[in-house]
Structure 1
Amino acid sequence: MALAYFILLIGGLVFFHEFGHFITARLCGVRVLVFSLGFGPRWTIYRSSRSGTEYCVSLLPLGGYVKMLGEDPAEPLSPQDRPFSFNSQALWKRFLIVFAGPFFNLILPVFIFFFLAFGQNVHPTTIGIVVPGGPAWEQGLRDGDKIVSLDGEDVNYWWEIQDKIASSPDKTLDIVYERDGKLISTTITPRVFSQVRYAELGATEKQGQIRVVQTYIKPIVYVAPGSAAAAAGLSSWDRIVSIDDQPVEKWYEVERQLGKLSGKTVKIQALRHESIGNVFGMEMSTWGLPKTVSLAVPATNNSAASLGLDSAELYVHYVQPGTPAETQIGLQRGDKLETLNGQPIPTWSIFERLVYDDVKIALRNDEEKEFTVTFLRNGVRHEQRFLPTQLSRKGEHNTDVTVVVIGAHNLSEYGSPSPIPNAEPLRYAARQAVWETWDKLKLNVLAVAGLFSGHVPLKDLGGPILIGQIAAKTEDYGWTYFFKVMVMLSINLGLLNLLPVPMLDGGHLMFFAIEAIRREPVSIRIRQIAAYIGLSMILLLMVLVFKNDIERSWASIISVFQ
């Protein structure tokens, strides 16, 4: 099946690229002689009696071509054929025909993303986490609130909130949200935040945000020593599953339910977290059997915190020996992280992401990045500086991966709200098609630029073997994965073909630009010399990517012969 996925992937990309040349040539009145998928010896699948075009499949599947009448300037043509030849066309027509191949590769993702998004269920407008100190927090929104309208317009889906907020930086918006069945109205002003998108490429973008996310924290708790919760029999890192037989799935549900049960003794059922050993310096654990305790909720001051309960999200559960968390920060089990470089830490995953992104950007600039973290231990605030450790490891497909190590770990789980049917499938699909295509196009442009600037090493390039290995993962990950791989390769193919290298489409476009300036075509002799240079460059690139592929797969290759 791996070969079938590879042929389907490459064949689809080549077909769409060559179809761009083909259909544009036909529209411009140029006669197409051959449409071939692949190179080398070919088998004719169909010959059109009307147009004379021969549709073929060739032996080598790594490419394809469209042969047009009069494409070779030295080709003899009869007076009757000349009006239908490529080189007899106006310059703008020739430009469009050549440009159409890469252009079709660049727009293929629009169709793929539209197809993937159409009919897809989407997330509702319930907030999972409100980041402390952000615009939403300052205006009183909290975890579990449901946004009903923004700027006077009803919102039914999370993507509508994202679009409205991102497009309204520094603009005051009316907002209505629901909490415990009551509607609350206020105003909110999205602020411009810089967000790292692709740290390895140094890519950041600024957009309006109110600092909310849809992901919620599950109710794994930290229990303060000597508290009412501890006396009742709860322990740190228990997972609460119900309160008075009412299931709870989110931490904010625990906070809200306890707030409604003032002066009552409640029954709390929790799963005890149990260690089952240590593997490679990491603690392995599982959830034990349910445990039920009774907890008296005071009539006043009935918050979860007053009972000694807190989300375990920001509490240190385990510290790896010898890592920066132990040797530089001095973290211990039970410490609670507060700030990173003076900014509140909303979740552990965001803490790790911020460190990872900043280290990657610093590494890209040949710099070191030092961080300042504050944490609480037994109610006392501590501040320490640290430099994360960077390790080079082999990732998927045996590629080199830089791992950023802090060495402290929490015990937490996240969830997302159940998707709901989307009543606006066309608008959503169009939005996703444009947004996702633009995002992936920017990523690929940065990657190609990184190759020339040296920020993306040449050893990261891959060829047919790597593409085949990636395509083979379709068996495990499914067709959505396959089409997303096709998107990235299609944009890559389009951008690379636009490079001004002779033998590529971009090389032809370069000669057309020169012809437009000089008012006459570039001489055949110069084009021939340039073609040899371009062919040499392409062959060198092929040697490089095959070398990278073989080095990455060397162990697998050797094992076949052992």
Structure 2
Amino acid sequence: MTTIIAFIFMFGLLVFVHELGHLIFAKRAGMLAREFAIGFGPKIFSTKKNETLYTIRLLPIGGYVRVAGEDPEIIEIKPGHHIGLEFNGGGKVNKIIVNNKSKHPNARVIEVEKADLEHQLVIEGYEVDEDEKLFFEVEPTADFVMDEKETQIAPYNRQFASKTLPQRAMQLFAGPMMNFILAIVIFFLLGLFQGVPVDKSQLGKLVEGGPAAQSGLHQGDEVVKVDGQSVDTWTEFVKIVQKNPSTQLDVTVRRDQNTVTIPVQTNEVEANGETIGQIGVYRPVEKSFTKTFAYGFTETYELTKLILVNLSKLVTGELSINNLSGPVGIYDATGQVVQQSWQIYTKWIALLSINLGIINLLPLPALDGGRLLFVGVEAVRGKPIDPQKEGIVHFIGFALLMLLMIVVTWNDIQRLFL
């Protein structure tokens, strides 16, 4: 149950922060954000505030902000259609009844001759069995009513395509940006609570029952030598320990002005496909606001570099697709980190947030990076690519991503259960 709660919280936080970035900059640019969704598939919760429908959906494989103009509008009024019109106090149309007009006895029913709901915001037509042509001004925030569900119209100035290139690019970039900001904030808060890791040859917190604690080493001991080899930094100390799995090491430490040598038997663990030694000691930390502030940025930067290196190895073939993890693998890993400590779980969230930001910036169709690429091409060409062609590219890209997700999930299942 703990793992389930931890996974749901982590997934919800990462997707919420990402989509919140898209939503904030869509609204700042004046775009009509129709829906803010966490998850895909059937709705399990929804509520509408102002113009936006906020939903939680069944499948935990992402989320989206649906902005007017990014997808084809579902409802279209064509000449010859019979529609009902309701009006506000100023005489402008504020509801367009598409069907079930009998449920709206006060609506004025007309046959449409022309409807422009993007630019001029007018409807022209005739009342049934009348010859006089009528003109109706439409409120910019008017609603279609179809099957008794209301959908706000989208004048062109509220659509994604109507905005400037910088506004569109920023709306697309804002999601990944927020993931990086979340990681920075997480590391900053960790630094405030537990201190900032430093590269001193000193022992930090010891794992209860670990080899270091059992051998008699203490937190705060300054490591001088390991098996006669001088040690000046934490990095040097870790390298020696990791190179000696299942080995007894003589660790010389300085404690209370005294120097003592203590034998420590290392454990043997698997990490990144190789066997390394561990003794159950955390890195030493210091508490400093200046260092804490910098820590949020430096740790995010270092993890970003690490992820980019691994991505490059996937491209060159040094890493196989079998090394990728999907939701099942991430769920299993979350269960493992939750059992260790809340600090490690929190760092795990930050790592996944950075990973989500980077993946979404890749120039692949259907991802934010792919859509940013189209904006960049438009900037170079001086005109947009045909929306239908762009839509087809993103649809194919999304289908391929879903196929990759299935393959990765199947690999996770085989690795964990078969």
Which bracket does the TM-score occupy, shorter chain normalised?
0.5 to 0.7
- 1:88 equivalent among 156, 162, 168: 162
Structure 1's 533 and 250: CA in aligned 2 closer, same or farther, altered over 3 A? closer
The whole-number CA distance in structure 2 between the counterparts of 1:457 and 1:513 is 31
Q: Does 1:402 align with 2:274?
A: yes
Q: CA deviation at 1:452?
A: 0.6
Residue deviations 1:372-426, cap 9 Å, x none?
Answer: xxxxxxxxxxxxxxxxxxxxx9948xxx722379xxx9xx998987x67x4x43x
Amino acid at match of 1:72: D
Alignment of 1:350-429 (within 5 A): 350-351=239-240, 353=242, 395=270, 401-403=273-275, 422=287, 424-425=288-289, 427-429=290-292
Task: Tell me which residue corresponds to 1:29.
Answer: 30
Give the 3-state SS of the residue equivalent to 1:16 in structure 2.
Answer: helix
**Per the alignment, do residues 552 and 26 of structure 1 end up closer, same or farther by CA in structure 2, a change over 3 Å counting?**
same
Contact 2:196 2:292 in 1 (8 A): no
Hey, what does 1:115 align to over in structure 2? 189
Contact 2:337 2:348 in 1 (8 A): no
Structure 1 pair 534/213, CA: closer, same or farther in 2 (3 Å)?
Answer: same
Instruction: With the length of structure 2 as denominator, give the TM-score of the two structures.
Output: 0.64
SS for the counterpart of 1:462 is: coil
Q: Distance in 2 between matches of 1:84 and 1:103?
A: 23
Aligned CA distance change for structure 1 residues 444 and 85 (closer, same or farther; 3 Å):
same
Aligned to 1:67: 66
1:303-382 map, 5 Å: 313-314=226-227, 350-351=239-240, 353=242
Q: 1:82 to 1:213 in 2, by over 3 A?
A: same
Give the distance between the partners of 1:515 and 1:20, measured in 2 at CA. Answer: 23
The structural deviation recorded for 1:349 is: 5.2
Could you tell me how far apart the structure 1 residues matched to 2:340 and 2:188 are? 20
Q: TM-score, normalised by structure 1?
A: 0.49
Q: Does 1:78 align with 2:66?
A: no
CA 1:114–1:518 in structure 2 vs 1: closer, same or farther (change >3 Å)?
Answer: same
For 1:98 and 1:109, the matched residues in 2 are separated by 19
Residues 513/415 of structure 1: CA separation in 2 closer, same or farther (3 Å cut): closer
How do residues 58-457 of structure 1 correspond to structure 2 at under 5 angstroms?
58-72=57-71, 77-79=117-119, 80=140, 81-121=155-195, 213-215=201-203, 313-314=226-227, 350-351=239-240, 353=242, 395=270, 401-403=273-275, 422=287, 424-425=288-289, 427-457=290-320
Aligned 8 A contact 2:325 2:408 in 1: yes
Contact 2:329 2:409 in 1 (8 A): no
Q: Closer, same or farther in 2 for the Cα pair 1:395/1:547, shift >3 Å? A: farther
Code of the residue aligned with 2:201 in structure 1: it is V
Query: Residue 3 of structure 1 aligns to which amino acid in structure 2?
Result: I
Query: Unaligned 5+ residue runs, structure 2?
Result: 77-116, 120-139, 141-154, 205-214, 246-267
- The answer to whether 1:543 aligns with 2:410 is no
For 2:282 and 2:173, the matched residues in 1 are separated by 45
Aligned equivalent of 1:53: 52
Task: Call closer, same or farther: CA 1:439–1:36 in 2, change over 3 Å.
Answer: same
Q: 2:406 is matched by which residue type in structure 1?
A: V
**What SS does structure 2 have at the residue aligned with 1:5?**
helix
2:263 corresponds to: none
Q: Is the Cα–Cα contact under 8 Å of residues 19 and 64 in structure 2 kept in the other structure?
A: yes
Contact 2:201 2:222 in 1 (8 A): no
Offset at 1:352? 5.4
Report the secondary structure of 1:473's partner residue: helix
Sort the Cα spacing of 1:251 and 1:468 in 2 relative to 1 into closer, same or farther, 3 A.
closer
RMSD after superposition:
3.6
Q: Encode CA deviations 1:262-321: one digit per residue, 9 max, x unaligned.
A: xxxxxxxxxxxxxxxxxxxxxxxxxxxxxxxxxxxxxxxxxxxxxxxxx7x416xxxxxx
Q: Structure 2 vs 1, CA of residues 52 and 529 (structure 1 numbering), >3 Å: closer, same or farther? A: closer
Query: What's the counterpart of residue 378 of structure 1?
Result: none
Change (3 A) 1:240 1:468: closer
Q: Is the 8 A contact 2:243 2:276 kept in 1?
A: no
Structure 2 CA distance, aligned partners of 1:110 and 1:441? 11
Tell me the percent identity.
Answer: 32
Deviation of residue 92 (structure 1)?
1.6
